[in-house]
Structure 1
Amino acid sequence: MDYKTVLMYAARIATFLLVIPLHESAHAWVAKKLGDDTADRQGRISLNPFVHFELFGTVLMLLTGFGWAKPVPVNPARFSKTRKNGKKISMRGGMALTALAGPVSNLIAAFVAALILGLMLSTDTGWLAYLQMHETDVVLSDKNLTFLSSIEVLLSYLFSVNVGLAVFNLLPVPPLDGFNIVRYFTSEKVDRWFYEHQMIITRVFFALLLLMSYVPVLRVPLEAASNFVSTMVWKAVTGIIQLLR
């Protein structure tokens, strides 16, 4: 196993230890702000990764870069937040905001990783990681691996994993966050259809996830979406770095 692969798995482990807790805590925190403290009372506003641990989702994330944690319990009937117009937030609206908090936290983490990496790459010491990230013929080895270049490559993988998790969780499939976001715009009839077929949809979805490792074409839509988001984040980071110069 080469150093680049080791760093890739190190980034995925770091995601389990740091990013997943942030993602799940964001769900719980927003739910509490909207009036539902169910998750908070269960200790889910926590950066302890084992509070959010879910075996299958964690293993899948370590193997493929995509995965999930134990679902955050949310009781939409407890939402009591009042909007500026004086109306109480709807259960659908509250669920959508709570669901959106997770992917947003991933995008924030990706932005921070990209900003730190971008600042490091703006110096002469950053070119090795830059070449690695763009998959040139340079290979990490004992001769060219330094502490700084290791940090840079690790940050690049953390960036990619966070973007991937954000895009993955926005898929409108139960039990992912995107499902509850899309529900805000759908009718009760559509809701009913999804819940009647939820088990079948979920099983087919999980089967496709497992096949992704063996059938590359199945990854194309996710990779295209991730590449688009990555490009947008990097453009923002590049603009900020240019302003700082």
Structure 2
Amino acid sequence: MLTLWPELDSRDCVAMELSVIQKIAIWILPLLFAITLHEVAHGWVASYFGDQTARLSGRLSLNPIKHIDPFGTVIMPLMLLLLTQFQFAFGWAKPVPVDMRNLNHPRRDMALVALAGPMANVLMALFWGAMMKVGMLSYDGGNFWLGVPLMYMGNAGVMINIVLGVLNLVPLPPLDGGKIMMSLVPPHVAFRLSLVIEPYGFLILILLLVTGILSSVISPFVYLLVNLINNLYGLY
């Protein structure tokens, strides 16, 4: 799942109005890496703990095409971005198949498999924060042609990955946080939750999103992590 919040200006001195084509060019690479590595991380960890379903189905590839859902990854996010002037988007990628029965310790290992995706996004956010820092140093050194794109793309990469990581930790099936919760509660409780909540999880998520509740819940965590990355690299 994916929700994008408004861009943060990388630096006041380079803040400028970008064309639609420029915005798409800035966002597309971080977005593709975010969804691809998120899904591959699930498959890698599942493979490590004994389930080879993702590997045998060819889903451990870093090729974004193997993870793209034409409607959920491309059409819907792009449509929403254009309609909201790049203020909001929602979408999803094809989930990597994981067969819990093949895991060495199914309940424990499933929680770690679910956690792998958000953790991959946090690591990518750190990477994009470093790229933003490189862009700032290049800009200060007079290399505007390199500094400005890296600053904007780094900023987009940090925001995309932090939002994707935090959103997926919400304890609501079918999000990763829901799978972690299912692995932590007693089996009989997990079974009941899967029957009562999981079939309606996507609709509940949409409702929370439309009402603004989801934004209120995850925004403090998003900006906490963004500020930590900013402070780590001295971005502001």
Structure 1, 193-202 or 33-42: larger mean CA deviation? 193-202
Q: Which residue of 2 aligns with 1:71?
A: 95
1:146 Cα deviation after fit: 4.1
Shift of 1:65: 4.3
Are residues 1:189 and 2:200 paired? no
Q: Deviations over 1:51-107 (max 9, x none)?
A: 112244314444334432111111122123xxxxxxxxx211111111111111111
Q: Deviations over 1:207-239 (max 9, x none)?
A: 433x2xxx656523222221011122233334x
Task: Please say if residues 66 and 168 of structure 1, whose CA atoms lie closer than 8 Å, have aligned partners that are also in contact.
Answer: no
Aligned partners of 1:228, 1:6: CA distance in 2, in Å? 30
RMSD: 2.7
Identity %: 31
2:61 is matched with which residue: 41, 46, 69? 46
**1:24 and 2:47 aligned:** no
Q: Secondary structure at the match of 1:184?
A: helix
Q: Secondary structure at the match of 1:43?
A: coil
Moved more, 57-66 or 177-186: 57-66
Report the Cα distance in structure 2 between the residues aligned to 1:202 and 1:51, rounded to whole angstroms: 23
Q: For residue 226 of structure 2, what is the aligned residue in structure 1?
A: 230
- Note closer, same or farther for the CA distance 1:120–1:164 as it changes in structure 2 (3 Å cut): same
Aligned to 1:199: 199
Q: Residues 217 and 34 (structure 1 numbering): CA distance in 2 closer, same or farther, change over 3 Å? A: closer
**Counterpart among 46, 50, 57 of residue 72 in structure 2:** 57
Task: Say whether the 8 Å CA contact 1:8–1:157 is kept in structure 2.
Answer: no
User: Partner amino acid for 2:175?
Assistant: L
Q: Distance in 2 between matches of 1:77 and 1:217?
A: 35
What amino acid sits opposite 1:79 in the alignment?
Answer: L
Unaligned runs of 5+ in 1: 81-89, 128-144
Cross-structure match for 2:130: 115
TM-score, normalising length from structure 1? 0.74
CA contact (8 A) 2:103 2:110 kept: no
Alignment partner, residue 175 of structure 2: 176
Query: Secondary structure, in 3 states, of the residue corresponding to 1:69?
Result: coil
Gaps of 5+ in 2: 1-16, 81-87
1:157 alignment partner AA: A
Deviation at residue 201 of structure 1 after TM alignment = 3.3
Which whole-Å CA distance do the structure 1 matches of 2:124 and 2:58 have between them?
A: 22
Alignment of 1:92 with 2:91, yes or no, is: no
Whether the 8 Å contact between 1:106 and 1:165 is mirrored in structure 2 is: yes
Find the counterpart in structure 2 of residue 136 from structure 1.
Answer: none
Distance 2:193 2:42 in 1: 22
Contact map agreement 2:138 2:147 (CA 8 A) in 1: no
Residue 46 of structure 1, CA deviation = 0.7
Provide the C-alpha distance between the structure 2 equivalents of 1:217 and 1:207, rounded to a whole number of angstroms: 9
Greater relative contact order, per chain length (Cα 8 Å cut-off, separation 6+) = 2
- After superposition, give the CA deviation of every residue in 1:124-182 in whole Å (9 maximum; x if it has no partner): 5389xxxxxxxxxxxxxxxxx84421221121111111111111111111111111112
**Hey, what does 1:134 align to over in structure 2?**
none
Mean Cα deviation higher: 118-127 or 27-36:
118-127
